[in-house]
Structure 1
Amino acid sequence: MKASNGTTQDVGGRRKNSKREDESGRLGEYGQDSSVNGTKQIGATSADSSGENIIRTSVTWDGRSDAGKILEEVLLLKQQFLDYVKSHQGRLEARLDESKKQEQKFLANAEGLELRLRKALTIQQTKDESDNTEEPE
């Protein structure tokens, strides 16, 4: 609705047929098999799935791969991982040692304070007892 000189008038409205035909000049085709670089794209639909173990079939020997290079990559990967793990373990061990030192330091300080408190309590009790015996009844 649009207001004009105090009255309203209908303007436009919803299109009765909102389903438009594809305009091939602008949209291309929809729903057809398409390709990228000449290779048919596949998806996870049942038509594309053969039920095979895709990982197992994709790792088979094709005669074009250089097994020596693959072995080098595996060994490098293994060494990098072990280097990382050993380094991390070293940091963890250092933190554990520091934690143990802090624990011992805390316990020594706490025991020292506890000993001082016990002495102070003993002195206080002795003083209280002596004050009670000195007072005549």
Structure 2
Amino acid sequence: MDDVNGKTKEIGRRRSDSRTQPQPKRVGGAKKKSQCNGTIEIKIGGEDSNGGNPDWKLAPIRDTTAGKILERLEILEKRHLEYVHSHQARLKARLGESEEAEHEFKEESNQIKSDIYHLASHQKTGDDAIKP
């Protein structure tokens, strides 16, 4: 597809010129060509170009007494720590499951290795099967 006056039109798969040209109608803007591979760097227009948090906006002023601010901070801290502690409990439970699975795997693996060793040693002596 190609952009002509805000409308798109079909074009063939092959292009006569493989180099891309900056098109001011696209979102963002084209910058200078990169020195390493000749491509054009595209910058999406962002409101905060200083690398700050673009989600932070000035909020309306609430009750700013020291007691209210401290109360809101304590509520925030309590909610966050409840989340973190419940997440840690889930991680510990999963760790326990993982350690149990590892233990079962090692036991079964060692048993199979032992069976193979006994089978190989009995075949050298002429026995066809391991007798319990």
The bucket for the TM-score relative to the shorter chain is 0.3 to 0.5
Question: Higher helix share goes to which structure?
Answer: 1
Higher RCO (CA < 8 A, seq sep 6+): 2
Question: Higher strand share goes to which structure?
Answer: 2
Which entry has the higher C-alpha Rg, 1 or 2? Answer: 1
The TM-score normalised by the length of structure 1 is 0.46
The TM-score normalised by the length of structure 2 is 0.47
